[in-house]
Homo-oligomer: A and B are copies of this chain.
């Protein structure tokens, strides 16, 4: 194992001072062409790379962003992670990844992130208690909630327009002739779950009807399946179900088809939310509200870096997402949103 090679080693080899070496590796610092080439040559010979940790100590910039994710089984989050990686890499930042179930451990994780001197934190569908938010604020570490809103704590947040999405689904299902419509919601303690539900219920109300049932699926496939069973156990089963996200919608469809022997969409229409890649797979061919993940991620990164770089205000951004019409729900003729 070769010993670590430092800027002093390179300096000696190149016959210059350590400062010169540092300047060559610091964008914008002044160094003559001669020095530069000597240093680069020596660095290559020795296999030198600046120690980012040491650099971070001086500059106070680690170029690391902490990312906290709750679920990875729901395909939306791996996809978000992939986009986040690209967007952050393009801006010269790196990801330190943590998993946190929603209930617990977020505080602990934030403490660890802070001790690593991350420059910012992105949480995906993870909320943050007020005192933790305050701690980040006091430490000067900006936080952006991705796909999760929160009224308290004055945190930046980026979501799709969930209320509008829910409303769009209501219009679409009503236009499709459905009158007995159930909703298996996302977790109702989360803003996304709640907003979609509200938009949906409001949307139906505008047509003078109410959902036949609203049950909290809590983003769990298991719970969603159970709810589906009990909904359809009734003589008066729904003819359409709006499900709070695609991940649950797949379970709902499977339960309807393979357990209850019902046809989707002939017996029951199903609509999801997210438009993850699986939704387009022929086995599901799920009609769903698309969350424009790319735009959402870009907005998240923009907001975060703006706050890192110039202390900008925290914003709340809502990006509208279109209904992606596929085959899991009856298509009204001439439907316009």
Contacts and interface: CB of A to CB of B under 8 A. Distances in A.
Interface string A257-283: 111000000000000000001100111
A49 B115 contact: yes
Interface stretch (A52-60, A203-211, A226-234): A52-60
Interface string A63-93: 0100100001101011101100110000000
B98 A97 contact: no
A315 interface: no
A302 interface: no
Given A73-B78, A75-B75, A116 B283 contact: no
Contacts of A253: 283
Interface in A112-140: 112, 114-117, 135, 137-140
Nearest to A74: B78
Nearest to A138: B2
Given A2-B140, A138-B2, A52 B115 contact: yes
Interface residues of A, number: 56
Nearest to A48: B115
A1 interface: yes
Contacts of A47: 135, 138-139
Contacts of A140: 1-2
A99 interface: yes
A82 B75 CA distance: 13
Contacts of A281: 250-251, 254
